[in-house]
């Protein structure tokens, strides 16, 4: 035996995935990492034991919420004629959606700004003035 053969580790001790192995994220059809979420659930000691389906469910919920927010933020960016999503677009997307606004009502988004809103009492009363002018003009017609 040469020294090169001795220094090599056998294939059974090599780390990583085998050729046919699939991650749980791939099996579930998700993008979010199920293994990492399970590790955080265990390390966080939220419970003594963590079921096999808990990290899958959490990954699916987080992926859905992320996709929903990014879709609405992309629409807000397109409305402002921008190609890049910035925190302002995320904030507008969340505040303009009723359910997301309720879920994230106590969340402050850094550099998000505020939702544009002008109170009705501060708006000029153009319609009332036009109606009064028309009434006066009609009353003066002979």
pLDDT tens, residue by residue, 116-140: 999 999 988 876 666 666 777 666 6
End-to-end CA separation in angstroms for the chain: 121
- 14 or 111, which is more confident? 111
Residue 47 has pLDDT above 90, yes or no: yes
The conformation of residue 12, written as its DSSP 8-state character, comes to: G
Residue 20 has pLDDT above 60, yes or no: yes
């Amino acid at each position: 035996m040469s020294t090169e053969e001795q220094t090599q580790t056998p294939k059974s001790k090599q780390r990583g995935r085998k050729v046919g192995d699939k991650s749980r994220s791939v099996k579930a059809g998700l993008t979010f990492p199920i293994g990492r979420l399970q590790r955080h659930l265990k390390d966080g000691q939220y419970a003594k034991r963590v079921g096999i389906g808990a990290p899958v469910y959490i990954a699916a919920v987080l992926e859905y919420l992320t996709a929903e927010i990014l879709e609405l933020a992309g629409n807000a960016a397109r409305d402002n004629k921008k190609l890049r999503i910035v925190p302002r677009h995320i904030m507008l997307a969340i505040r303009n959606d009723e359910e997301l606004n309720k879920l994230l009502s106590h969340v402050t988004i850094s550099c998000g700004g505020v939702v544009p809103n002008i109170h009705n009492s501060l708006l000029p009363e153009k319609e009332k003035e036009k109606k009064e002018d028309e009434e006066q003009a009609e009353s003066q017609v002979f």
